[in-house]
Chains A and B, each alone.
Chain A
Amino acid sequence: MNVEIIFKIAAVGILVAVVNQVLLKAGREELAMMTTLTGLVIVLLMVINLISQLFQSVKSIFRLY
């Protein structure tokens, strides 16, 4: 479990917030919403492996299979 990914997620989060504000101020609300969603998707892609491992561990610990 490397710590780098936490920093990456935090940085993407801050950037998405800033871009959101910039776009809202320029009047492009729909573009702002799209960038928020894009940021969300990017972060999800970054952690999807970890999430899959998490579910595997949960399944094996509780023997749910």
Chain B
Amino acid sequence: MRRSWWRRNAAALCALVVLIPASVVALDILEFGAVRNATRAVAAGETTRIDGWEFGPVTVAPLDADAVGAPAGSSPVVVTIPVAAGPQGVSCLLPSVHEPTTGREWRTITTLEWQPDPEDPTFCTSEPTVPYDLSYAVLLPGDAGGPLVVELPLGTPDGLIDVSFDIGG
């Protein structure tokens, strides 16, 4: 009498039972290159804490295009990120403004006639023990209607974390 298909392939099936869970576990454990953590989303008006540092609430305020030498039809803005510094070991990369509905992304601009408050640092530092603001100018086109998101990449001992601050419409 001919053996059933299940019996004939019993060894292969047993191997699958072991290998499939083992692959899932291995993918979860192994680190492939640099660690890029999941993006941390922060709702409008909210703050977030990372390694003893607190960031937010992030605001975006319009600038006078003529006064800062921005091109006609543009909407220059100032992105302000309040920071309450924690212990050393956290660094900030430059923020960027994203428009999720169109996929467009803008970086900070330094060629406008606008300067941040000289009292505030221009990068993440744990030197001031009092909270400070990081402020950057960003040149948006007039049709960037939002909703907008400010993305701030942070370097931490646990790897890079993208913090995504919802700004609203």
- Asked if chains A and B come from one complex, the reply is no
